Structure 1
Amino acid sequence: MQTGRPAAPVGLRPPCRLLAPKELRRGPRCSVAGPREITGPADVGSLIPETLEEMAQDVEFQRTAERLRREGQAALTREEKVRRQRSLDNLGVPSFYKMVKDSGATGLNRSAAKIFQLNIGLYCNQACTHCHVESSPKRTEMMSKETAERCIDLLKSCSTVDTLDITGGAPELNSQFRYLVEQASALGVDVIDRCNLTVLMEPGQEDLPQFLADHKVHVVASLPCYSQKNVDKQRGAGVFERSIWGLQILNRLGYGKEGTGLNLDLVYNPGGPFLAPSQATLEAAYKQELREGYDIEFNKLFCLNNMPIKRFADYLIRRGKLEEYMQLLLDNFNPAAAEGLMCRDTVSVGWDGRIYDCDFNQQLEIGVMRPGSNGNGNNSQEFVSVFNIESLNELINWRIACDNHCFGCTAASISLSGFFISSPLFCWNNLATLFTCASVYSRGAGGFLLGMDAN
């Protein structure tokens, strides 16, 4: 197991009036060493010490950490699943498989892979309150060079994949991030980076913005709101200011600008147990406030709903809101979203190489499995990883693993490989994430691809 440095996914608050501090309106104190070499503020320092201090002072986080030490992650994940199922039983809801079948949507089997999503580590400089992958500076899981190389081998052998979606934690702080970007871009594959923006300020990452631009990496960044108060409340003190600096640095390199080919998209998800507002309306508000307040431009805003798992599930349970939120997801179930689920053409890989149908299943340890033999002729199952398949095409027509959390992916008018369009807008991961930043996209709804937790 390798360790790296930080990053994370996010959630968002409803739109709010922005009162931009004058010092932020001026933009970051950037040094320009050449026509395109732009770095962030030299004196800002790492965000990690502040994140660790906040984690130490967060009573709810400490309670969960103590339960993790005492009972283990598997036990907490089982308990979370039981609570979700109990809420659905109280509502008289059938299984997700049956709901999809009865809706008339196509059966839940995999098609040829188009998106190869890699969660390359859970280490992060942030510890966001709605992070579905539970990233933080205390996580040490990181993808090894051997696993990264095997992922590239599989990418080379699969002609249907056109997008490599890299997420985390803070994927940029993993030692394999730049290797994966260089290899994939050399193959002509589009690369998505689920960026939390504050990673651009981390010591040692001064050349990261230029690296992303040189390889035309599509940056998908979480920005919960255009209000400093709301962003810092959900993502940590000082995150908003650093995010603004990060966006301004990317803009100066051409990101978010017409005709540059450098795409910069932002991600919004609610800060509570409710669904996102109209994407078109919110995007217009974001563009106006960020342009007028900070001279920031971006391409698109994607709105996603929070998945009822991990930290957000804990949040709902503590407030007695889990059943209410599950009812909200059910009330917004849409067969069109089931038809466009990201898991149909996305292969999600964890930091250790295990393969999943989506980033959410990855965090719940619901791995892709195939029939096998236990040596006695009885049926058993074997977890699939990048090391025991020869091609991603082997997964075609395999049944997609689903559970009760999957209703979070169909509370929409269409699903975008990780981003879900919630009538009439997109609803990630995580990705997480990411997008996340939850995980999120769809070609039928405008060609965008994403997977969460984002970041």
Structure 2
Amino acid sequence: MRNTFPLLVKTDFPALRRARLETVQANLGYRCNQSCTHCHVAAGPHRVEEMSWETMELLLRYAVKRGVETLDLTGGAPELNPHFRELVVHARLKNLRVIDRCNLTILNEPGHEDLAEFLAAHQVEITASLPCYLEENVDQQRGKGVFESSLAGLRQLNALGYGQSSELPLNLVYNPLGPVLPPEQTALEAAYQRELAARYGVVFTRLFVLANMPIQRFGSQLVSKQQFVPYMNLLKGAHREENLTAVMCRNLLSVDWQGYVYDCDFNQMLSLPLGAGGSERTHLSELLERELTGARIRVADHCYGCTAGQGSSCGGALDPAETQTAARAA
């Protein structure tokens, strides 16, 4: 796999500063039951890195001490971490909102047959990746049979009430299949809702539209196909200054499986240390007594993926106006 870091680190991306911390996004490990071509984590079945229970206890302690509202669990497939369920139980007992970034197919894996029921019982929000409502396109990106397995997972979740009430949100995530900007989120969400309901009887809450980041597997593919420079030019050409107020790194802290912290999940995959921590890696244990509001955010050229067009984040397209209203209210 070709490393795109040297192509990204020299940047003219605008400087950013942190706002109030709301979300801790924790990568519970790189093991996954899939090996997707677009995956910015380069996750797969043979990865062995996983977060320990000791680090999870630190996560919970930090979240409570710093007034964090949301614990966002990602991977790999976060559910493959042996301590996943224990972490969820403790987080919910502490009144943390918990998001599980679920690939849907994990719900059908041996040993996880009761996973959907567990998530529903603890009112865990689910954000599930589904790059298209057509089987051919999903299997092209994810592998043969992934669409059918994903559909089975969605039906399990619907049967438990997911996607039908505010208590059990089921959000889907869309990534483009190639080096293009994602379509407008509202229109695509309507198409997904219409097609999934008509074709398969499946319902969901929201669709989050994300841009592909020019890092890891996707970035390597771009380099191999001589598409890296054109894609970066596309992102830079579509940059919107107003999106800078709403980028997710201003309110989020990313934690890797060892407990080291980064400004976002993409920076984590590039090993770009926390902007507030200088040039060295910073461990979450060093931040228990530290306020991050106003601290510098480390940026590089891949950050244009978050500000291009309608903007992109782990919660979909950006809404700068909503962010500014919330900031004034605070």
Match of 2:93 in 1: 186
Question: Alpha-carbon deviations, 1:343-395, whole Å to 9, x = none?
Answer: 11101100000000000000000122666xxxxxxxx854211222324x432
Match of 2:116 in 1: 209
Structure 1 distance, partners of 2:321, 2:283, is 25
TM-score using structure 1 length: 0.68
Match of 1:148 in 2: 56
Structure 1 distance, partners of 2:321, 2:270, is 23
Structure 2 distance, partners of 1:216, 1:385, is 30
Percent of counterpart pairs with the same letter?
45
Please state how far the C-alpha of 1:111 moved relative to its aligned partner.
Answer: 2.3
Matched letter for residue 344 of structure 1: R
Structure 1 distance, partners of 2:143, 2:173, is 17
Q: Which of residues 261, 264, 268 in structure 2 aligns to 1:355? A: 261
Structure 1: tracts of 5 or more residues without a match: 1-63, 65-75, 89-93, 101-106, 372-379, 427-440, 448-455
The CA RMSD over aligned residues, in Å, is 2.3
Distance 1:394 1:196, change over 3 A: same
Question: Alpha-carbon deviations, 1:208-230, whole Å to 9, x = none?
Answer: 10111011111000111111111
- Bigger Cα Rg: 1
Structure 1 distance, partners of 2:158, 2:113, is 15
2:31–2:43 Cα contact (<8 Å) kept: yes
Match of 1:219 in 2: 126
Please state how far the C-alpha of 1:84 moved relative to its aligned partner.
Answer: 4.2
- Check if 1:113 corresponds to 2:25: no
Q: Specify the SS of the correspondent of 2:25.
A: strand
Match of 1:410 in 2: 307
Q: Map 1:41-440 onto structure 2 (within 5 A).
A: 64=1, 77=3, 80-84=4-8, 95-96=12-13, 100=14, 108-159=16-67, 161-257=68-164, 259=165, 261-368=167-274, 381-391=279-289, 393-416=290-313, 418-421=314-317
Structure 1 distance, partners of 2:321, 2:46, is 34
Please state how far the C-alpha of 1:336 moved relative to its aligned partner.
Answer: 1.6
Structure 2 distance, partners of 1:285, 1:404, is 32
Question: Alpha-carbon deviations, 1:10-67, whole Å to 9, x = none?
Answer: xxxxxxxxxxxxxxxxxxxxxxxxxxxxxxxxxxxxxxxxxxxxxxxxxxxxxx3xxx
Distance 1:419 1:308, change over 3 A: farther
Q: Specify the SS of the correspondent of 1:265.
A: strand
Q: Specify the SS of the correspondent of 2:266.
A: helix
Structure 2 distance, partners of 1:192, 1:446, is 24
Please state how far the C-alpha of 1:396 moved relative to its aligned partner.
Answer: 2.7
Q: Specify the SS of the correspondent of 2:214.
A: coil
Structure 1 distance, partners of 2:144, 2:279, is 46
2:273–2:279 Cα contact (<8 Å) kept: no
Matched letter for residue 95 of structure 1: D
Structure 2 distance, partners of 1:410, 1:369, is 19
Structure 1 distance, partners of 2:324, 2:170, is 18
Matched letter for residue 128 of structure 1: C
Match of 2:323 in 1: 444
Q: Map 1:32-47 onto structure 2 (within 5 A).
A: none
Please state how far the C-alpha of 1:109 moved relative to its aligned partner.
Answer: 1.7
2:104–2:149 Cα contact (<8 Å) kept: yes
Structure 2 distance, partners of 1:347, 1:134, is 20
Question: Alpha-carbon deviations, 1:409-454, whole Å to 9, x = none?
Answer: 11133554x34527xxx8xxxxxxxxxxxxxx9963999xxxxxxx
Please state how far the C-alpha of 1:127 moved relative to its aligned partner.
Answer: 0.2
Structure 1 distance, partners of 2:28, 2:241, is 32
Distance 1:352 1:319, change over 3 A: same
Distance 1:186 1:442, change over 3 A: farther
Q: Specify the SS of the correspondent of 1:149.
A: helix
TM-score using structure 2 length: 0.92
1:171–1:177 Cα contact (<8 Å) kept: yes
2:222–2:228 Cα contact (<8 Å) kept: yes
Matched letter for residue 124 of structure 1: C
Question: Alpha-carbon deviations, 1:64-109, whole Å to 9, x = none?
Answer: 3xxxxxxxxxxx54xx123346xx8xxxxx611xxx2xxxxxx512
Please state how far the C-alpha of 1:238 moved relative to its aligned partner.
Answer: 0.9
Structure 2: tracts of 5 or more residues without a match: none
Structure 2 distance, partners of 1:370, 1:281, is 38
| Off by >4 Å, runs of 4+ in structure 1 | none
Count residues in correspondence.
Answer: 326
Structure 1 distance, partners of 2:298, 2:122, is 34
